[in-house]
Amino acid sequence: MTEDPHAPLIAAIRDALGADARVDGAWLSGSLGRGEGDAFSDVDVVVAVEDEDLGACVAEYGGVKSPLGAAVFRQVLYGRIVTAVTPDWRRYDLQFVTGPELRRLDFAKLRPLTPGAKPPPGLLPPRAPPARRPQDLVPMAEEFLRILGLLPVALGRREWLVAQEGWGLMRKLTIDLMVEANGRTSDRGGVKRLNAFLTDGQREALEALAWPGPSRESLIAANQALSGLFIPLGRTLLGEAWPSAFESATRDHLREALGIELP
């Protein structure tokens, strides 16, 4: 049987937290907590503490004298999440929670880590992500069209790198729109997994897009190809909320400035 590559780090975190009298309980969260992790997953841990201990715990575990030992990178996010990289490049996040925050967690997606870790009494229903409405996606569509409409500026100045960066931003918007169309935005979590949130057809279409070369012809072709993915999907997803006037003006602008047509 292959040894779990996370076992040594998980054991070190369990021992340190289990020996800390301020810790009421700790649970594996993230992909490992859900049973969906792999050898490349971070070790994510939820740590329950009392309100009065929160600041001290975050400062201690996020400091150079952390009970978890040396780290080549350590950072505190939002005043309660300690994220770190160990010298052997293992990654972990400790999310410190108190009171109502703990009671709102979905314990079906957590795995007890320390002895006695169990759901607290009076669990509250986890907050459901707000339903996305078509009009909520309008800024995404407008940003795509705005970047697309700036193509003549970059090409006119021969700013090939700027145009490539713009294309990269538009590709990310296209990915985000596809994930949204699949109803998976709230499930996506970290940035190191994407395949599961796209259909096979979407993934193949995105993978087929070649990064544009530093030339007018390559950049134009790349922008046209990306527009052929984003605009039809955006129209379908946004319906009447789609910024049709902006799209029409952008098409006219590119036709006049570059002599090109969008799909």
Mean of the per-residue pLDDT values for the chain?
93
Structure-token match 């049987």, residue found:
1
Q: What value does the mean pLDDT take over residues 156-175?
A: 98
Q: For 227-243, b where at least 16 C-beta lie within 10 A, e where not — what string?
A: bebbbebbeebbeebbb
pLDDT tens digits along 52-82 = 999 999 999 999 999 999 999 999 999 999 9
What is residue 20's predicted lDDT score, i.e. its pLDDT? 96
Instruction: Tell me how far apart the terminal alpha carbons of the chain are, to the nearest angstrom.
Output: 53
E-strand stretches of the chain: 23-29, 43-49, 73-77, 81-85, 91-97, 111-112
What is residue 189's predicted lDDT score, i.e. its pLDDT? 60
pTM for the model: 0.82
